[in-house]
């Protein structure tokens, strides 16, 4: 069953039926103002931080599921009938359900905007919600057209519920939130204020003078009503009252008269800042509708520019659509907005997860070098002198330039932690966090050519300065120190698998990741001529290779590790959890195993973990609690870390298969979990088919295939990397572009446009012999180039045509 389709020409996903079983969301905002928005207009906004900067309210896990939202209502003043431009909150009967006079609704989620469209009773309405590039404001661009042949008089009403800025107070301490906030109305602008924190305000305004307003929520909604039937909309008039204390909202109503065929447009503004400092200027700016159009066009160009950095055209429509648009947007969303703002993560946690951020940044350096750089610096500042990363940290705490808020005496006493209190010890350290950072920094240097970045001094969390290069060495050395007697890495608190704690035992995954990180480091240490380091880390790489070979091969796949008591986990000897997914690909990726073992381990993954929805994280699921293995044994079978189809590590076997030269297998893995392929299977999937989710229920659960926790997952970045750098094989060396695809044999070829350091590479890959891998010849602008050498970096402004023939 399907609810919508991909509109690739407009880079939109179009929801044709609004009664989707769960909320299908989009993320708006590129800088400081973010909105998480459902296909029915539900959702919330925040400024910079989803924990401290809430602007509009969301009732998490609510019934109905996505209230409140950023809503526009229409009321026919002839008969009082009213509806909303998004299907909810009014929820008119649908024509699609056989109601002859019912309403028709469409939602278009696009790059940085969403558009709601309604057709009802001879009125066509459209509401586009968009956040301009440089202003801390959300615009609701509303157009109403009279398609009937009578003159129509309508009221256009808007509504947003304000939130106290700190989410925990908004949810838990009403004693404070209800009595410390107020609202006022002046010159068409509603301002929401926090009385004792006079630096924080929100405002709501519009491009036209309103006929009435509400800024007290309960006046707008009315008793024993909801957003579905607010009294102020039913009446066609707001109560024109504001005041101090209680719950506040922004609602402005406009009366319009439309001749047959006539369209009127009104723009609403939800903004961060005070009326005087921001609201008036923004109101004046966006009252000019040409400016609204121009800002929408700028935003479109902003995304086109990002997409142009790497555009693919392959015979695989799903890959093209996802890589060029949706996976790029999702990967960027994780980097820009981090992982704690969705309809599932509702803002109770904040800051940056070390491991997640260090991975996420790797895939969007080409499309967002500025944010990537910021995140890398934040990660380096949160690395300890010992080399490990602070597992979850607030970057502000380690940023010497973080703006300080005025020191207002507060009745609530919250002790201020010192920086030293924020640095956890080994007992809270994960064994993998710091390792992800090394290849990310190397990728950053390769993308930007900024070798000088390695010499920049950035302090460790303790405050001691060190060069970036030194930071990387400390990361590698920490893992060298943290090994057991057999040379396998110590598991510490956990590794990538948060719930496989092994009681502090040993982990194969980190052993392999360590080798991968060293290999990445050598890519820069060698050309920099750091001979001593090269020798040292080559020796360490050789040690790990021997350890893996000796200790970690189980016969047909790799053992996952050992518990503190030395019991194997993820071995054929085990009764439950015989095989795990997340580490199988890494010996191949790190280049520390043979082709034969690589292929054998991937075959085991396919055979024992594979399914039509992707690879399971483990098999068989744990049904008996075993705390020496970890928390995952306390999770229902088929869910999360206990043998669900956990999306993120599904990317790694794709990379391994590509590196093994098995393009058909790589794409089969890619396809099995590709959301695009589930577009017509929503009765099973549930979640949006344009975003990866954290996990899908595994075969041990009756809801097998159901997708949970959309958007905020490292899957997006890794799938982007797997498809572009390994299936299509467009990777970077320090001074050249590598084209080394591993594609299905039946592909005739593909094309990629890559912008790199200011030059454009139009790459055409031909596959006349229908092979998966192997470059037979290369030409650059028609001139032969050795097939085994990277395409040399071209001067800025150059545009070259590269033809690669496989065979
Ligand atoms: C969640 C965490 C991530 C972890 C994964 C597996 O996605 O954000 O850090 O690696 O679960 O446990």
Sign of CA pseudo-dihedral 769, 772, 775, 780: positive
- Contacts with 786 (C-beta within 8 Å, 6 or more apart), sequence order: 778
Q: How many angstroms separate the CA atoms of 335 and 516, rounded?
A: 22
CA-nearest residue for atom 9, ligand 1, is: 356
**Can you tell me which atom of ligand 1 is nearest the CA of 497?**
12
**Mean local confidence (pLDDT), 621-628:** 96
**Mean local confidence (pLDDT), 358-366:** 98
CB 422 within 8 A of CB 390: yes
Q: Which CATH number fits domain 730-806: 2.30.110.10, 2.60.200.20, 3.30.70.20, 2.60.420.10?
A: 2.60.420.10
Q: What one-character DSSP code corresponds to residue 642?
A: B
Has this prediction a pTM greater than 0.95? yes
| Domain 352-398+429-552, CATH class in plain words | mainly alpha
Q: Which of 390, 391, 496 to mutate to test the pocket of ligand 1 (most atoms within 8 A of CB)?
A: 496
Share of the chain above pLDDT 70, in %: 99
CA–centroid distance, residue 531 to ligand 1 (Å): 37
CB 274 within 8 A of CB 716: no
**Can you tell me which atom of ligand 1 is nearest the CA of 498?**
12
| pLDDT 10s digits, 710-739 | 999 999 999 999 999 999 999 999 999 999
**Can you tell me which atom of ligand 1 is nearest the CA of 339?**
8
Which residues does the annotation mark as catalytic?
498
Strand order, beta sheet including 189-194: 4-7, 12-15, 104-110, 113-120, 123-130, 137-146, 263-272, 201-206, 189-194, 181-186, 243-244
pLDDT higher than threshold 80 for residue 656: yes
CA–centroid distance, residue 761 to ligand 1 (Å): 36
CB atoms within 10 A of CB 513: 26
* H or E element, residue 399: none
CB 742 within 8 A of CB 773: yes
Q: Which region among 98-102, 408-412, 744-748, 769-773 has the lowest average model confidence (pLDDT)? A: 408-412
**716-750: string of b/e by CB count within 10 Å (b at 16+)?**
bbbbbbbbbbbbbbbbbebebbebbbbbbeebebb
Strands 759-766 vs 799-806: parallel, antiparallel or unpaired:
parallel
Helices 369-381, 433-448: inter-axial angle, 10-degree rounding: 140
Please tell me if the domain spanning 352-398+429-552 has the same topology as the one spanning 555-716: yes
| Domain 555-716, CATH class in plain words | mainly alpha
Query: Which of helix, strand or coil describes residue 10?
Result: coil
pLDDT higher than threshold 80 for residue 659: yes
pLDDT of residue 81: 98
CA–centroid distance, residue 454 to ligand 1 (Å): 29
C-alpha dihedral, 266 to 32 to 202 to 398, nearest 10°: 180
* Six token digits for residue 52: 């401290």
**Can you tell me which atom of ligand 1 is nearest the CA of 646?**
6
CA-nearest residue for atom 8, ligand 1, is: 356
- Tokens 């001139």, residue located: 783
| pLDDT 10s digits, 43-102 | 999 999 999 899 999 999 999 999 999 999 999 999 999 999 999 999 999 999 999 999
CA–centroid distance, residue 397 to ligand 1 (Å): 23
| pLDDT 10s digits, 393-450 | 999 999 999 888 777 777 767 778 888 899 999 999 999 999 999 999 999 999 999 9
Q: How many angstroms separate the CA atoms of 199 and 94, rounded?
A: 45
CB 55 within 8 A of CB 46: yes
pLDDT of residue 198: 79
**Mean local confidence (pLDDT), 683-696:** 98
Q: Which of 330, 354, 356 to mutate to test the pocket of ligand 1 (most atoms within 8 A of CB)?
A: 356
C-alpha dihedral, 421 to 425 to 431 to 433, nearest 10°: 20
| pLDDT 10s digits, 286-308 | 999 999 999 999 999 999 999 99
Q: How many angstroms separate the CA atoms of 447 and 787, rounded?
A: 22
Any idea where the domains of the chain sit in the sequence?
A: 4-303, 352-398+429-552, 555-716, 730-806
CATH number attached to the domain at 4-303: 2.70.98.40
pLDDT higher than threshold 80 for residue 162: yes
CB 579 within 8 A of CB 615: no
Q: How many angstroms separate the CA atoms of 645 and 667, rounded?
A: 17
**Mean local confidence (pLDDT), 529-553:** 98
Q: How many CA atoms lie within 13 A of 285 on its CB side?
A: 18
- Using 50, 70 and 90 to split pLDDT, how confident is the model at 315? very high
- Tokens 């009082």, residue located: 80
> What mean pLDDT is reported for the chain?
96
| pLDDT 10s digits, 117-133 | 999 999 999 999 999 99
pLDDT of residue 219: 98
pLDDT of residue 280: 98
* H or E element, residue 311: strand 310-313
CA–centroid distance, residue 212 to ligand 1 (Å): 48
pLDDT higher than threshold 80 for residue 349: no
pLDDT higher than threshold 80 for residue 639: yes
pLDDT of residue 417: 82
- Using 50, 70 and 90 to split pLDDT, how confident is the model at 567? very high
| pLDDT 10s digits, 235-267 | 999 999 999 999 999 999 999 999 999 999 999
Q: Which residues line ligand 1 (CB under 6 A)?
A: 353, 355-356, 496-499, 641, 694
């Amino acid at each position: 069953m399907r609810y919508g389709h991909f509109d690739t020409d407009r880079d939109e996903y179009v929801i044709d039926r609004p009664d989707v079983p769960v909320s299908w969301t989009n993320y708006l905002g590129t800088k400081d103002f973010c909105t998480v928005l459902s296909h029915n207009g539900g959702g919330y906004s925040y400024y910079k931080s989803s924990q401290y900067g809430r602007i509009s309210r969301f009732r998490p896990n609510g019934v109905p599921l996505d209230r409140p939202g950023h809503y526009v209502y229409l009321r026919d003043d002839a008969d009082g009938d009213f509806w909303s431009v998004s299907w909810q909150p009014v929820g008119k009967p649908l024509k699609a359900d056989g109601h002859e006079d019912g309403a028709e609704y469409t939602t278009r989620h696009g790059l940085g905007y969403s558009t709601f469209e309604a057709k009802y009773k001879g009125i066509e309405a459209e509401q586009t919600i968009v956040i301009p590039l440089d202003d801390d404001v959300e615009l609701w661009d509303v157009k109403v057209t009279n398609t009937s042949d009578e003159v129509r008089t309508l009221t256009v009403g808007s509504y947003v519920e304000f939130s106290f800025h700190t989410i925990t107070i908004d949810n838990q301490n009403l004693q404070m939130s209800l009595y410390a906030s107020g609202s006022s109305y002046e010159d068409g602008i509603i301002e929401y204020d926090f009385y004792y924190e006079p630096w924080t305000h929100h405002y709501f305004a519009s491009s036209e003078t309103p006929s009435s307003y509400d800024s007290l929520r309960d006046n707008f909604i009315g008793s024993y009503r909801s957003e579905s039937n607010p009294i102020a909309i039913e009446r066609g008039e707001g109560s024109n009252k504001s005041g101090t204390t209680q719950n506040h909202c922004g609602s402005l109503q406009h009366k319009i008269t439309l001749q047959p065929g006539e369209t009127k447009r009104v723009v609403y503004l939800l903004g961060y800042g005070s009326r005087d400092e921001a609201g008036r200027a923004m109101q004046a700016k966006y009252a000019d509708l040409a400016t609204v159009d121009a800002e929408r066009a700028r935003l479109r160009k902003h995304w086109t520019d990002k997409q142009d950095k790497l555009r693919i055209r392959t015979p695989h429509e799903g890959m093209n659509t996802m890589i060029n648009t949706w996976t790029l947007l999702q990967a960027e969303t994780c980097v820009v907005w981090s992982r704690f703002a969705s309809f599932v993560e509702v803002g109770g946690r904040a800051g940056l997860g070390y491991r997640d951020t260090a991975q996420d940044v790797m895939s969007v350096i080409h499309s967002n070098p500025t944010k990537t750089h910021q995140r890398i610096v934040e990660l380096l500042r949160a690395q300890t002198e010992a080399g490990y990363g602070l597992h979850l940290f607030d970057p502000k705490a380690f940023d010497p330039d973080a703006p300080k808020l005025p020191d207002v005496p507060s009745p609530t006493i919250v002790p201020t932690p010192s920086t030293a209190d924020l640095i956890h010890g080994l007992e809270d350290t994960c064994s993998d966090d710091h390792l992800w950072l090394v290849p990310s920094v190397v990728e950053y240097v390769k993308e930007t050519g900024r070798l000088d970045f390695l010499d920049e001094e950035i302090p460790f969390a303790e405050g001691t300065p060190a060069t970036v290069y030194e930071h990387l060495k400390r990361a590698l050395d920490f893992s060298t120190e943290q090994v057991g007697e057999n040379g396998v890495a110590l598991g510490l608190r956990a590794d990538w698998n948060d719930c496989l704690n092994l009681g502090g035992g040993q982990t194969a995954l980190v052993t392999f990741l360590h080798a991968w990180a060293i290999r990445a480091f050598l890519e820069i240490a060698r050309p920099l001529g750091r001979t001593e380091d090269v020798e040292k880390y080559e020796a360490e790489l050789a040690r790990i290779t021997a350890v893996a070979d000796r200790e970690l091969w189980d016969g047909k796949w790799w053992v996952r590790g050992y518990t503190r008591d030395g019991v194997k986990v993820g071995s054929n000897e085990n009764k439950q959890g015989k095989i795990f997914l997340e580490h199988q690909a890494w010996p191949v990726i790190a280049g520390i195993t043979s082709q034969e073992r690589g292929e054998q381990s991937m075959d085991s993954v396919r055979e024992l973990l594979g399914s039509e929805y992707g690879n399971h994280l483990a098999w068989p699921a744990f049904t008996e609690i075993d705390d020496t293995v970890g928390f995952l044994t306390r999770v229902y079978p088929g869910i999360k870390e206990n043998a669900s189809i956990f999306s993120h590590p599904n990317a790694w076997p794709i990379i391994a298969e590509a590196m093994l030269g098995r393009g058909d297998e790589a794409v089969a893995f890619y396809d099995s979990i590709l959301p695009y392929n589930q577009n017509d299977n929503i009765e099973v999937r549930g979640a949006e088919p344009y975003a990866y989710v954290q996990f899908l229920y595994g075969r041990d659960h009756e809801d097998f295939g159901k997708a949970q926790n959309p958007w905020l997952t490292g899957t997006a970045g890794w799938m982007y990397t797997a498809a572009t750098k390994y299936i299509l094989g467009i990777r970077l060396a320090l001074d050249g572009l590598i084209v080394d695809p591993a594609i299905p044999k039946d592909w005739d070829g593909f094309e990629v446009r890559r912008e790199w350091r200011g030059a454009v590479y139009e790459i055409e890959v031909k596959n006349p012999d229908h092979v998966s891998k192997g470059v037979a010849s290369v030409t650059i602008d028609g001139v032969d180039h050795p097939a085994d050498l990277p395409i040399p970096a071209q001067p800025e402004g150059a545009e070259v045509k590269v033809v690669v023939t496989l065979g």
